[in-house]
Structure formats: structure tokens, C-alpha cells
Structure 1
Amino acid sequence: MATDVVQVTVPRSTGGHHVRAVKVVLHRELLRFVNDRTRMVTMLIQPVLWLFVMGTGLGTLVRGSIPGIDFRTFMYPGMISMTVITTAMFSAGSIVWDREFGFLREMLVAPVSRGAIVVGKCLGGAVVATCQGVVILALAGLVGVPYSPVLIVTLLAEMFLAAFTITAFGVTIAARMKNMQSFFGIMQMAIMPMIFLSGSMFPLANLPSWLHVLTTINPLTYAVDPMRQAVFGYLTVPAQVDAMLNPGISWFGNRLPVALEVGLVAVVGAVLLGVAVAQFRRTD
């Protein structure tokens, strides 16, 4: 008795096929974020505390030396960066969670490029982190930052770029991690020093030489400074205060233009994305 043979066909790998895979992973990240209200709230608590509690406390100490500006206004770009960075890292960490529960293996055996999965993951993490940062962005008026449409669009673009780079960094690490404890241990060891050395909580002017070097080689510094320069571009403060709080980043005595800083963040993000794709191609 003859048996019928059922043919199974696998869709051809095309550009449109990869784009759909990116959209599916991106959509899943958005759904996970929207459905996890606890995560949305907890990710906001730390930057809000830093901005309104620590910022107010420190502001009472330096009020006389920075006339015409609230110290919380100075800290505001840094708190946006902190929100975006921590949210992006949690998004990247979900890869380890998916591995523990077997969902990652299902994605890896799907007939799609692993590069498309990584791109979707990085875009998803960047969009989620940017959406979280919008909440801090809405608080601008409470710390003396004007609601200028151009400023808001500029900050949104810089937030997205920073979030994409950090998510790519997190995905690179998460690709080889087997459990959440190891991932977040490594991330805390790497990210917290980078946040503190980015100038998000203290001015970059008049630093000791060793601290100046550390802030200069810190990639997050080049993500925070463009946001601060964008904010200070819409403030009216005395020249000496602007020089103290918004000195920019200098290489060998020359101040870097914002375009170069943003370009460096984009290059780092592209390199990390390539490394993350290579890591996923070696993942079982």
C-alpha cells in the first residue's frame, strides 16, 4: 500500500522575511513592556528619587555658586540617561529569561536569520527604553526645562540612540549567560560605574586629571553630554555658570562638537550590534 508523502517547504530567506522577523520580535518586546506595569513603575522610582530628593538636597549646598539655575535642571539630562540605560538593560536581560524558559531555543530554530532576531531585540529595547524616558521628559517643567518641541524631538532622538547602544551591549553579554543572576551581576558591575562616571550627577569641569581621563574614556559620557548641551541651549544662565555646569567633552584641550559625540555613540552601537549578531550565531 502506497503512502502519501507530505512535502514541507521552508519559506525562502528574503529581505521581507527578515523584516517581518524584526517586527515580530519588536512587537513582543512592546507587549511585554505594556503588560508589566510593575516594571514600568519600579524603573521610574530611582531616577525620580535622584532628581527630586538628591537633586534638591545637593542644590541647597551649591545654590550660592550657581546663581540663576536650579541644580535639578543640571541633573535632569543625567536622570533621563539613567532611566533609558536601566530600562534598556532590563530589556536585554529578557534574553536570559527566554533561555531559561526555552523560548529562546524556539526563536533560534525558526527559519529566520539570527541577525534579524538580534536587530528586533535591540530595536525593541530601544523603543521600550525611550517610551520609559518620555515619562521623565514630561517632568521637564518641574525642574525649569522648557517644553520646546525642537528640544523634545532632539532629546527623543538622543535617548533612542543611547538606548539602542546599551541594549546592543546588554544583548552581547546576555548571549552567553545561562541565568539571570549572573547577567545582572555583570551588568551592575559594568553599568553602575559607567553611569557615575558619565557626568550625569556632577559637572565635567575642573575634575582631577585621573577622573577626567575616566570620564573621557567612558562611552556613556558621550550619550549624556549631547542631552545636557541640548537642554542648556534653551536656558538663560550666566556665562560662568554655563562654563561650570556645561563644559562639554574635551580632547587635548579641544571641545568636541555634539555631532561628533552623537556619531561616536552611533559607531559604538553599530559595533556592539555586530558583536551581538556574531555571538548569537555561535549560540546553541
Structure 2
Amino acid sequence: MSAEAIAVRVPGRSFGHDLRAVKVVLHREMLRFVSDRTRMLSMLLQPVLWLFVMGTGLGSLVQGAIPGIDYRTFMYPGMISMTVIMTGMFSAASIVWDREFGFLREMLVAPVSRGAIVVGKCLGGAIVAVGQGIVILAMAGLVGVPYSPPLMLTLLFEMFLAAFTITAFGVTLAARMKNMQTFFGLMQMAIMPMIFLSGAMFPLANLPSWLHVLTTVNPLTYAVDPMRQAVFAAVSVPPEVDAMLNPGVQWFGWQVPIPVELGLVAAIGAALLGVAIAQFRRAD
């Protein structure tokens, strides 16, 4: 008796199929984050400590030099940025975890575009980071920032843009990493200098020339500065204090407009997304 061959049909790839894959990966990222309450609290603790402990301490030292404003108001946009940056990078770290436990291989052999997996990962990380940043956003009144709807919407948009870009950066780093220790070591080496050089904790005015160059070539500077300019536009600050704490970013004496800064962040995010997709297409 001869055995009959059984045909196996593999679903063809399509845009709708890839769109569903993006949705599944995004949903998984959100479920993973919501179920990990320890991670949620730890991601919030550091910026809150910086804002209310270090911000209060530094404010007591410089209160005579910056009359009419709480130093924590200055640090507030930087702490929002720190929150979304750290959360986005930790979301990207889950790729290394998935590789160690074999789940990433299952996703890569699925009949979907690997680009869809990367897009879902970046979108999921960005949404999770914005959700975490909303908690810091809710503390605006505690540091003298008004709950103005236009300001809140502006900050939400800028948070998402920064979160997506940094998550794409993290996914690019994680694409070839084999263990968590290597990834976190590299992450700390890359992210911490970028945060300190972004103007998140100190003004960008009157810097030494070498430090000014480092801040202008730092991509995170262009994510922090639009948030700070949005905050300072919503609070009443003496002109001389505004010039000291919120000078903006300059290229050879030219003041970089906010749309250009946001466009630069978006372009970097798109480029990193493309690199991450290329990395995944070559992955085993």
C-alpha cells in the first residue's frame, strides 16, 4: 500500500501578514513590560532621584544665579529624556534574552518579514518608553511646569520620537549580541556619556569649545533640546535666565530651529531602523 504525499501549504507573505506580525510583536512587548513590575519601578526610580534629590541639591547651590526659576524645572526635560532612553534600551535588551532562550529563532523562521519583527520591536519599545515617561510627565506640577494641553501633547510627540530612535539604536546593538552581560556593558558605555553630553543636567551655554563640539555631535542633544524649549516657552522666566539655561543648539553661530532638530532625530531613527533590519536579515 503506497503512502500518499500530503501537501503542506505555507502562507505567502503580504503587507497585511507583516502588519499582523508587527502587531503581535508590539503586543508582546507591552505584555512583557506590564507583567514586570520590578522593571517598571526601577526604570522610574533613577530619574525621580535625579530630579528631586540631585535637582534640589544643585538648585540650592545656584539659586542666586538663576532667580525666578526652580532648577528642577530646568532638569525636568532631561529627566523625561532619561526615562524614555533607559526604558527604550531595556526594551531592546529583550532581543538578547530571546536569543539566549531560543524564542528569537522561532520568530526568525516564521513566514513573516524580518523587517516586520524589527518594526514591531521598535514600536513596542517606543510605546512602552512613552508610557513610562507619562509618569514623569504627571509630576510636572511638582517642579513648576504647567499642565498645559499643548505642552503635554508636544512633549508626548517628542518623547515618542526620542524613544523610537533610541530603541532602534538598542535593537541595532542587540542584533549581534550573544549574552546580556555584553549588551549591558556596551549599553552603559554608549548611553551614559550621551546622556551627560545632551544637556540633560547642565546648560549648554558658555561651555568650553571642546565640550561644545561634543554636545553638538551628540544625537541625544537634539532630543533633549526641543523638550526644554517647549517647557521654557510655557513658563515665565527672566530673559537673562532663559538665555543662560535655554540657549538652544548652535552650528557655527547659527541657531538650529526646533523642526530641524526633530527632523534630525527622525532621520537618525529611520537610518538606525534600516541598519537593524539589515542586521536581522543576516542573522541566523
* TM-score (structure 2 length as normaliser): 0.99
Amino acid at match of 1:234: A
Partner of 2:189: 189
Deviation at 1:2, TM superposition (A): 2.8
Aligned Cα root-mean-square deviation (Å): 0.5
Number of residues of Structure 1 aligned to a counterpart in Structure 2: 284
Equivalent position of 1:136 in the other structure: 136
Deviation at 1:10, TM superposition (A): 1.1
Aligned residue identity for 1:249: V
Runs of 4+ in 1 over 3 A off after TM superposition: none
State the partner residue of 1:36: 36
1:46 is displaced (CA, Å) by 0.4
Secondary structure at 1:266 match in 2: helix
Aligned pairs for 1:241-256 (under 5 A) are 241-256=241-256
1:165-194 superposed Cα distances (whole Å, 9 cap, x missing partner): 000001001000000000000010000000
Structure 1 distance, partners of 2:234, 2:169, is: 32
What's the secondary structure of 1:64's corresponding residue? Answer: coil
2:273 pairs with 1:273 = yes
Q: CA deviation at 1:4?
A: 2.8
Report what 2:200 is aligned to: 200
Equivalent-residue separation in structure 1 for 2:9 and 2:148 (angstroms): 54
Question: Is 1:262 aligned with 2:262?
Answer: yes
Match runs of 1:64-75 below 5 Å: 64-75=64-75
The CA deviation at 1:82 is: 0.3
CA distance in 2 between counterparts of 1:129 and 1:28 reads 14
Aligned equivalents of 1:4, 1:151: Cα separation in 2:
68
Find the aligned partners of 2:47 and 2:134 in 1 and give their Cα distance: 13
Q: Structure 2: which amino acid aligns with 1:101?
A: F
Structure 1 residue runs without a partner (length 5+): none
Match of 2:165 in 1: 165
Trace 1:102-141 onto structure 2 (pairs within 5 A). 102-141=102-141
| TM value normalised by structure 1 | 0.99
Match of 1:222 in 2: 222
Q: Does 1:77 align with 2:77?
A: yes
Write out per-residue CA displacement over residues 75-100 of structure 1, whole angstroms, 9 at most, x where no aligned residue: 00000000000000000000000000
Deviation at 1:11, TM superposition (A): 1.1
- Give 1:3 deviation, angstroms: 1.9
| 2:235 equivalent in structure 1 | 235
Shift of 1:34: 0.5
Between the aligned partners of 1:15 and 1:216, the Cα distance in structure 2 is: 39
Distance of 1:133 and 1:70 partners within structure 2: 21
Matched residue type, 2:43: M
Aligned to 1:101: 101
Give 2:262's aligned amino acid: V
Q: Which amino acid aligns with 1:276?
A: A
Post-superposition Cα deviations, 1:131-175, rounded to whole Å, max 9, x if no partner, equal: 000000000000000001111111011000000000000100100
CA deviation profile, 1:31-70 (whole Å, cap 9, x unmatched): 0011000000000000000000000000001001111100
CA distance in 1, matches of 2:160, 2:9: 39
Deviation at 1:260? 0.2
AA partner of residue 71 (structure 1): Y
SS in 1 for 2:22: helix
**What one-letter code is carried by the residue in structure 2 that aligns with 1:246?**
N
